Amino acid sequence: MPNSSTHAASSAQPNTHVGTSQRIPVVEIAPVSNKIHVREQKGLFQRLRQYSNSCLIAIFFILPFINYQGRQAILFDVTEQQFFFFNLTLWPQDFTLLAWLFMAAAFALFFVTVYWGRVWCGFLCPQTAWTFIYMWIEAKIEGNHHHRAALDKAPWSLSKFRKRLTKHALWIVFALLTGCGFISYFMPARELYIDIFTASSGFWTGAWVWFFALCTYLNAGWMREMMCLHCCPYSRFQAVMFDANTKTVSYDTERGESRGLRKRAEKTELGDCVDCNLCVDVCPTGIDIRNGLQYECINCGACVDACNQTMEKFGYAPNLISFTSENALKGQPQTSVFSLKALGYASALLIMISLIIIDLSQLSHIQLNVIRDRQTLYREVGADRVENSYQLKIRNKTQQAAVYQIAVRSDKTPSLTIVTDTVVQIKPGEQLDYPVTVSGRRSERVGRTSQQTLQFSVTQINSVANLTPVEPENQVAQQSRFFWP
C-alpha cells in the first residue's frame, strides 16, 4: 500500500492511465513567486514570430528617421499641436481622423480574432516582441533555461554577480533606446538621441525618456507574462469573439490521451502524448495547453513546434497540438465561413474605413475663424459709407508656404468690399491674425434691418501676381454679420 507522500505525488500529476471518459484533469497552479524560465524552441511558428517581432521592432526604431521634404516624415509635434504624416498635416480639430483609425484597427483585430484567436498577441504585440528580446539577452548572458534556473538557486558569487550585472546593463541600454524611440515620435529623432546619450537634453525631455525606459525595463524584464495574465484587457474579453470555428492552439485530447512516458518504437496502448512536458517548458506564460483553452494562451505556437518535434522523434503524426478549431477536433465540418460575429466586425470595419476616406476627402488645408470687433459695431465714414471691422484668424495647415486671397460676399448688398489688402502670405503651419475692414454704401442698405449676413472666403492662389486658385476645392468660408446704423 503506497504511503501518503507517494499518493500525494501521484495525485499531483495531470495525467492518468485510465480512459478519457473517467479521467479527471488536475491543473497544477505554480506559485506566483516562481519565475518562468522559458525553454528555447525552434520551428515554423517560432521563425514566423521572430521575423514578425524583428520587423515590428525595426519599423518602430526606423520610422522616426525617415525624412520627407526636409522634415521628419512622422512627428507628433505637441508644442506646435501638429501631427505630420509625410505630406499630411493634422491639427487638433482633425484628430477625429485618428479616432476613426484606432477604431478601425480595433475592429480589424476583432475580425482576425474570430478566425485565428489571439494570434495578434503571439506574433505582433509589442509586449510579446520586447519580452522575447529581453529573454534572448538573458539567454545569451546566463545560458539556457536549465542554467538560468540553477543560477537563480545558486548563492551569490563573483560569476553570478558579473552575469546579472551584464544582463541588467544590457536591459537598461535597450530600455533607454526604447524610451528614445518612443519620444522620437514627438521630438526630432536625430537631435534626441544625441542629447540623451551625451546627457545634454532638457529636464522634461530626459524625464520622459527615462520614464518610458523604466516602464520598458520593468515590463519586459521583470513583469513579462504577468502583463498577459493580469494587466492585458484583451485576454479577458477575447473569448466572447471565439466560436466553434475559431482556430486556436489546441490539444487533441482524443488522440493524445491517456498520456504516458514510453521508449521510442515501444508498442503501447497509451495515446500519442508521451508526457515530455515540452509544451509547458516552452510556453512563455507557463500554462499546460493540454488542460484545454485558457485565457493565458497567447497563441505564439511554441508548444506546437515543441510537440511536432517530439512527434517526429517518436514517428507519430504531427499536429497533436496545432492551430485548429473546436469543430475540427470533433470531426465536424465548419458551419459557416462568415459567422454573424465576423460579418458584424467586418461591417464595423468597413464603416470606419469609409469614415476615414470621407474625413480625408473633406480635409481642408486652410482654417478660418472670423471674429467681429465687439467694441464698435460700425463706423460711419462720410455721408454714405459704413465700415465694420473684423479679425480673421487664417491658418496654413500645409507644410509649404502659401499665398491666399480674401474675399467677401453678400447676396443683399453686392457692393460690400474689403478696404484692406486682400492677398496675404502665410508660412507653413503658421496662423495669421489679420485685421480686415469691410465697407458698404448706406444707400444700398436693404430695408430697415440693422444687420445682414455676409460671408468671408479664403482661397489659396498661385502667387501675388497670379491670382488663379491652386485648386478649386482648396477654399474655406465662414459667415459673419455686417451692422448698419
Query: Does the pLDDT value for residue 309 go beyond 60?
Result: yes
Higher pLDDT, 435 or 443: 435
Query: Does the pLDDT value for residue 14 go beyond 50?
Result: no
What pLDDT sits at residue 30?
40
Cis peptide before 364 (omega within 30 of 0): no
- CA of residue 346 relative to chain centroid, distance: 19
Using 50, 70 and 90 to split pLDDT, how confident is the model at 21?
Answer: very low
Higher pLDDT, 439 or 28: 439
Question: What residue spans in the chain does CATH classification 2.60.40.10 cover?
Answer: 366-483
The closest of 285, 146, 288 to 224, measured between CA atoms, is 285
Cell of residue 211, nine digits: 520614464
Query: Does the pLDDT value for residue 441 go beyond 90?
Result: no
What pLDDT sits at residue 206?
94
Residues 130-185 have pLDDT tens digits of 999 999 999 999 999 999 999 999 999 999 999 999 999 999 999 999 999 999 99
Q: At what angle do helices 158-183 and 203-216 cross, to 10 degrees?
A: 120
Q: Above pLDDT 90, what percent of the chain? A: 54
Instruction: Decide if 257 contacts 269 (C-beta within 8 A).
Output: no
Lowest mean pLDDT among 215-224, 311-320, 424-433, 467-476: 467-476
> Which CATH code for domain 366-483?
2.60.40.10
What pLDDT sits at residue 299?
92
What pLDDT sits at residue 10?
36
Instruction: Decide if 42 contacts 312 (C-beta within 8 A).
Output: no
Reduced 3-state DSSP string for the chain: CCCHHHHHHHHCCCCCCCCCCCCCCCCCCCCCCCCCCCCCCCCHHHHHHHHHHHHHHHHHHHHHHCEECCEECEEEECCCCEEEECCEEECHHHCHHHHHHHHHHHHHHHHHHHHHCCHHHHHCCHHHHHHHHHHHHHHHHHCCHHHHHHHHHCCCCHHHHHHHHHHHHHHHHHHHHHHHHHHCCCCCHHHHHHHHHCCCCCHHHHHHHHHHHHHHHHHHHHHCHHHHHHHCCHHHHHHHHCCCCCCEEEECHHHHCCCCCCCCCCCCCCCCCCCCCHHHHCCCCCCCHHHCCCCCCCCCCHHHHHHHHHHHHHCCCCCCEEEECHHHHCCCCCCCCCCHHHHHHHHHHHHHHHHHHHHHHCCCCEEEEEEECCCCCCEEECCCEEEEEEEEEEEECCCCCEEEEEEEECCCCCCCEECCCCEEEECCCCEEEEEEEEEEEHHHCCCCCCEEEEEEEEEEECCCCCCCECCCCCEEEEEEEEECC
Instruction: Decide if 245 contacts 327 (C-beta within 8 A).
Output: yes
367-381 CB burial, b ≥16 within 10 A, e <16: bbebeeeeeebbeee
What pLDDT sits at residue 472?
58
- As a whole number, mean pLDDT of residues 65-72 equals 90
Q: Above pLDDT 70, what percent of the chain? A: 91
Contacts by 64-70, CB closer than 8 A, 24 or more apart: 64/181, 64/184, 64/185, 64/189, 65/189, 65/190, 69/399, 69/400
Using 50, 70 and 90 to split pLDDT, how confident is the model at 404?
Answer: very high
Instruction: Decide if 352 contacts 100 (C-beta within 8 A).
Output: yes
Residues 242-251 have pLDDT tens digits of 888 899 999 9
Residues 311-355 have pLDDT tens digits of 999 999 999 999 999 888 888 877 667 788 889 999 999 999 999
Q: At what angle do helices 158-183 and 126-142 cross, to 10 degrees?
A: 150
What pLDDT sits at residue 473?
59
Query: Does the pLDDT value for residue 18 go beyond 60?
Result: no
